[in-house]
Structure 1
Amino acid sequence: MQTVYEAYFDDYDCLKVYMSNNFFNGQSRIFHIKDSKDQIIPLRIQSKQDLPGGYTKYVLSILGDLDIGEEYVVYDEHCQRAFCQYGHIVKTQRFNDEFTYLYSDLGCQYTPDRTTFKVWSPVAHKILLKLSMNGQEPIYEMLRQAKGIFALEVNQDLLNAHYTLMVRVNGAWQETVDPYNCFCGPNTQYSVVQSFDQVSLPPKVSLPPLDSNTDAILYEASIRDLSADPGIGIQHPKTFVGFVEENLTTRSLNTGFSYIKSLGVTHIQLLPVFDFGSVDEMHTKIFYNWGYDPVHHRCLEGSYSTDCTNATCRIEEFAKLVQACHQAGLRVNLDLVFNHVYNKATYPLEVLVPNYYFLMDTEGNFSNGSFCGNDIDTQPPMARQYFLDTCRMIVERYDVDGFRFDLMGILDYTFINEIAKECRKLKPDFMIYGEGWNMPSFVSEDLRASMQNQYKMPNVGHFNDRFRETCRGSNGDLEIKGYSNGETSLINMMETCLGGGVLNDLFDSPQKAINYVECHDNHTLWDKNQVCCQNESRGILMLRQSLANALVLLAQGVPFLHCGQEFGRTKYNLDNSYNRSDHYNHIDYSLRNKHMPVVVDTKLLIKIRKGHPCFRLRTKEEILENVRFEEIDQKVLVYKVKKDQDFCICFFNPTMQHYTYQSSEELEILFDNGNINSQYSCFINIAPYCVVVCKAPMAFWS
């Protein structure tokens, strides 16, 4: 109800008309439709309803056969007319049966002799392909084929030619790029005729298999943030190249990739690297954005390339980034945004088949669980196939090791399971996890890929907000403390969190628990502590930072660190810095140097986790058998874990008091950031705000 007179095909036998009451008082006794060949199909009024907002709604029966893709105009009794738009009809089973096309030849297929273009657009009346090459701009009409395919073959060498699609649908022309083509120009203004056969992809590097997700240590970083700090020796800051750039300066200053390599993490999780709409790729200094606003799901983001005008450059540079990480023993997980898009009206798939790729009801209302005005619908077969193929392509081309899904709870769990299945065929240790929040989308609750349905997703992990809220305190109220910043009444909840989410049946496997206290969203832990522990000194805040990091790194499950968490990163008390410039978001290596004790603590804790399998138990049954807890004064948490002959005891003290622990056996001190214990002792001192980790003899377990 945006204009005075609208019409929508909601099924093969149903047309809905909306007439403004300012338009002939919204009244008409008869209607008919006419196609582009002047052939008339009569309509019968089934119902009439007055709607809020001054509209009258007519539900009309179609007394004839529709030819999908034909252009129809509806006439009322006053001979006023409106184009009939393809509405909910694209969601019907009959539409799927008639037009589903599950072949892999869509897009641009290049050879030196000819290039074939194919797109899927059953509702399009016409599609023109507009080429630009050598100063010439020929326009070709694509031919409609079965299953809603439009195809064109050009028998000449079109390598590096630019092209767009002019799509006639719902009575209007709209220009778009090819959603199936990975090669685009700056700001996704055009697609480029290319082939991966022409791209210099680096050789893939084999890594030892990851036996369990609990062997992973995830480290979230932004391509831009890591190298945005000036004066750290990086020649190509804020780019794919700069992310893995190393030289004498970066090594001597321990900055950028040199720094990440020194931490000992196993996986780098990158914020979105595929094309997003909120940064001008030609003027990257003007805008900043994390990239959670997709424009093209298969084209890499040009602002991270050293030359966004070269369609192959960003591909080669990103592939080399992955290779460099693998050469350093680091796996690469990508943050994928499959739940919404930057602009629905201009999204290429929407231009080709309006409404098909988005969750909508029969009244034309669109789901808004993402709070972005549109939610992607992954249940229609062609939508499902597009995103599955996209995932397969990313793994095959770039050799990445895992996907993290933004607002995964908007998607359906069967789709996420399919992605996990297909990706694990390519890489058996591929990781799949995401934000399993129960978002209010049109997907029914029993189908959502949310935490409440985790038992339906055997190979999918979820961000554990229970761990976050218990350890650091309320994410929404900075004043409310968690266990790590002094709320000792949460000690029992903290114990269950250390159990990988299986002790309170949040998860049925610790491999699903992504344990974290900080990520790109919301306040950093340091900024949170500066509010809820505002009377404490910088030194104490640093100890609290290490204590929270220790809880994350020693808990059962999968530890997750946000870049800079290991030194107390600040965003100057901003809770959402997604578009707030490099000043707020860059990795500040001078602050890192100032907080070096926290970095040293974090590195040692990572080393301990990797060296002791007791912190990486793989099943619920193992945890039930091999994890025990005690408390000292109901404030200090004592965490005992074992795996075969590996037995460790951890002490977490979030208070200002000094505590002691008497052991019947001599313990070896692996970690003590209070620095008050000798290497071996039966008498353990636990300093205020500190953590002690000990290796114990197996005899002590019984």
Structure 2
Amino acid sequence: MQRYPALKNLSIFVFFIFGLIGLLMNRDLPASAENNAIVHYYRYGHDYADWNLWGWVPGEEGKSFPFLEEDDFGRRVVVSLKDPQPFGLLLRKGEWEARDVTTDRHLLPGMHEVWLIEGDDKIYFDKSQADRRSKIIGAFLDAPDTLNVHLTNDTLLIGVGGQGFALYGEDTRPIPIRSVLPADGREVPCHTSHVSITLAMPLEVNKRYILTHPAYRSLDVVKRAILDEPRCFYTGEDLGPSYTPNSTAFRVWAPSAMSVKVSLYENSGNQTSRSIPMNRDSNGTWWSVVQGDLKNVAYTYAVNVNGVEREAVDPYARCLLKNGVRGLVVDLKDTDPPGWKEDRRPPLLHPTDAVLYEMHVRDFSISSDSGMEKKGKYLAFTEEGTKNSEGMATGIAHLKELGITHLHLMPPQDFASVDEGSEGYNWGYDPYHYFVPEGSYATDPDGASRIREFKA
């Protein structure tokens, strides 16, 4: 017997409404919404478990978006954005257990729908251009006569000859293959997507080679563990620019390059004013001397690897333009504050007397009530006698009150995730250039101010 049919019907309706709300809250907005970013993803083994999209918009924390929806391409996720704005994305497994390609990718406003493929760092805006055919996704030269090869899907190995694989050099002549075996040492015949190819002759680190197979898309060979050999190990201390008023010597380590050039930007414009070929030198390095006074001249390297020339910022640069877009030739003596050469670290007679304090450069002074003028900057460390609105010591004065003897700075070297022209924030554990101070902590991120103020 139903005693309260109206109440029961109301309960069912409320349950339905809350269930519907919960369902909608866990789904993305329809794909037709103007500000949605629709990301399709294809994995060759259809192993989507734990793979997710990590996405972010400028100035906000990143967020994980699981690929829950199947479609005729593979899986997809729809991300609802508040406004038309840039959207950064990468593909990861679980909580950063792995990444599919190391490249961060970005969508500009208006780029609503993209297709991504496992092992492919390209963004496809047209589904018809996204080629999901089987391919060689990795071919690594790990020894002079050994290739470590990864395939999108299994191939049958029977242990005889090249088994369909062929390797070609720059002159298109085939390079003899001695054997193709499972990389994990299993006996043949077997199916595997990871093979080890032994060649009948050694390869050169600075030559281009292409690995082919009729069942897979071909791929350029990447020099990997072979670069650990002594012939590629440079012990000199002159990497980067070595400046004098009369000339500047440039040296960069690029053992797999086919050619390298120094590109100079004397007027800080987008067009190179000069391009100087570099000479192959010892242990994988390239070297060139440019005559004349290059102080405060911006530069990059044009590096040709496997027939493709790319512009690269010198990893051994001493100074940078804003956001690390180019290196800058500087005379480091000009960045020394008064008394720099005479400055000495106070002696520590007993290590047990040390009182250590870890600190973030920006956090040290950024508070609106810090009483410091150069908030968030290196120069805040030079301000003395600062106090907050309640009269309490801040800055260096506060550290002295605490009895601190040694500061451990969280990474102060140039890092990648902050726009140095804005008030962005990061702890700094994503280094971009190891030998240059971070520009966002300087009063001017362009040029030598960052070095001068870091030393101050």
Same fold (TM over 0.5): yes
What is the letter of the counterpart of residue 81 of structure 1? Answer: S
C-alpha distance in 1 between matches for 2:148 and 2:172: 21
- Of 113, 120, 143, 1:11 maps to 143
Residue 36, structure 1, aligned to residue 170, structure 2? yes
- Of 121, 128, 153, 2:261 maps to 128
Contact 2:149 2:194 in 1 (8 A): yes
TM-score (norm 1): 0.41
Change (3 A) 1:16 1:225: closer
Deviations 1:612-663 (A, max 9, x none): xxxxxxxxxxxxxxxxxxxxxxxxxxxxxxxxxxxxxxxxxxxxxxxxxxxx
What is the letter of the counterpart of residue 160 of structure 1? Answer: N
Alpha-carbon distance, 1:147 to partner: 1.5
Change (3 A) 1:79 1:64: farther
Contact 2:149 2:195 in 1 (8 A): yes
What is the letter of the counterpart of residue 258 of structure 2? Answer: H
Aligned to 1:307: 444
Equivalent residues, number: 310
C-alpha distance in 1 between matches for 2:363 and 2:246: 44
Alpha-carbon distance, 1:11 to partner: 1.0
Aligned to 2:247: 114
Aligned to 1:57: 194
Q: SS in structure 1 opposite 2:255?
A: coil
Aligned to 1:100: 233
Residue 277, structure 1, aligned to residue 416, structure 2? yes
C-alpha distance in 1 between matches for 2:307 and 2:157: 22
Q: SS in structure 1 opposite 2:149?
A: strand
C-alpha distance in 2 between matches for 1:153 and 1:108: 9
Residue 72, structure 1, aligned to residue 189, structure 2? no
Which residues of 2 match residues 507-656 of structure 1 at below 5 A? none
Contact 1:107 1:178 in 2 (8 A): yes
Contact 2:321 2:328 in 1 (8 A): yes
Contact 2:163 2:180 in 1 (8 A): no
Q: SS in structure 1 opposite 2:201?
A: coil
- Of 221, 226, 240, 2:378 maps to 240
Deviations 1:561-615 (A, max 9, x none): xxxxxxxxxxxxxxxxxxxxxxxxxxxxxxxxxxxxxxxxxxxxxxxxxxxxxxx
Change (3 A) 1:184 1:79: same
Aligned to 2:67: none
What is the letter of the counterpart of residue 293 of structure 1? Answer: D
What is the letter of the counterpart of residue 181 of structure 1? Answer: A
TM-score (norm 2): 0.61
Which residues of 2 match residues 651-662 of structure 1 at below 5 A? none
C-alpha distance in 1 between matches for 2:365 and 2:183: 60
Residue 255, structure 1, aligned to residue 391, structure 2? no
The unaligned stretches of length 5 or more in structure 1 are 321-702
Aligned to 1:140: 276
Higher helix proportion, which one?
1
Aligned to 1:185: 321
Residue 294, structure 1, aligned to residue 431, structure 2? yes
Change (3 A) 1:265 1:41: same
Residue 226, structure 1, aligned to residue 364, structure 2? yes
Residue 168, structure 1, aligned to residue 304, structure 2? yes
Q: SS in structure 2 opposite 1:197?
A: helix
Contact 1:45 1:61 in 2 (8 A): yes
C-alpha distance in 1 between matches for 2:163 and 2:184: 15
C-alpha distance in 1 between matches for 2:414 and 2:381: 18
Aligned to 1:679: none
Aligned to 2:337: 201
C-alpha distance in 1 between matches for 2:359 and 2:152: 51
Q: SS in structure 2 opposite 1:57?
A: strand
Q: SS in structure 1 opposite 2:414?
A: coil
Alpha-carbon distance, 1:229 to partner: 1.7
C-alpha distance in 2 between matches for 1:234 and 1:59: 61
Aligned to 1:517: none
C-alpha distance in 2 between matches for 1:239 and 1:79: 53
Alpha-carbon distance, 1:47 to partner: 1.3
Higher strand proportion, which one?
2
Alpha-carbon distance, 1:293 to partner: 2.0
Aligned to 1:268: 407
Deviations 1:71-102 (A, max 9, x none): 111233579632111123223xxx22x22221
Which residues of 2 match residues 422-433 of structure 1 at below 5 A? none
Contact 2:240 2:318 in 1 (8 A): no
Q: SS in structure 2 opposite 1:226?
A: coil
Contact 2:139 2:150 in 1 (8 A): yes
Deviations 1:427-454 (A, max 9, x none): xxxxxxxxxxxxxxxxxxxxxxxxxxxx
Deviations 1:207-263 (A, max 9, x none): 552112101111222221221121443111011112331357669542222222233
Residue 216, structure 1, aligned to residue 348, structure 2? no
Deviations 1:118-164 (A, max 9, x none): 01121222223222112551333322123111112211222111112
**Which piece of structure 1 moves more, 152-161 or 297-306?**
152-161
**Which piece of structure 1 moves more, 246-255 or 136-145?**
246-255
Change (3 A) 1:211 1:313: same
**Quick one: percent identity of the two aligned structures?**
33
Change (3 A) 1:126 1:250: same
C-alpha distance in 1 between matches for 2:321 and 2:249: 19
Change (3 A) 1:40 1:202: farther
What is the letter of the counterpart of residue 186 of structure 1? Answer: K
Alpha-carbon distance, 1:103 to partner: 1.3
What is the letter of the counterpart of residue 359 of structure 2? Answer: A
What is the letter of the counterpart of residue 139 of structure 1? Answer: S
What is the letter of the counterpart of residue 32 of structure 1? Answer: A
What is the letter of the counterpart of residue 280 of structure 1? Answer: D
**Which piece of structure 1 moves more, 178-187 or 242-251?**
242-251
What is the letter of the counterpart of residue 254 of structure 2? Answer: S
C-alpha distance in 1 between matches for 2:307 and 2:195: 21
Deviations 1:7-63 (A, max 9, x none): 2212111113333349x9999734332222334321122314799xx9633322211
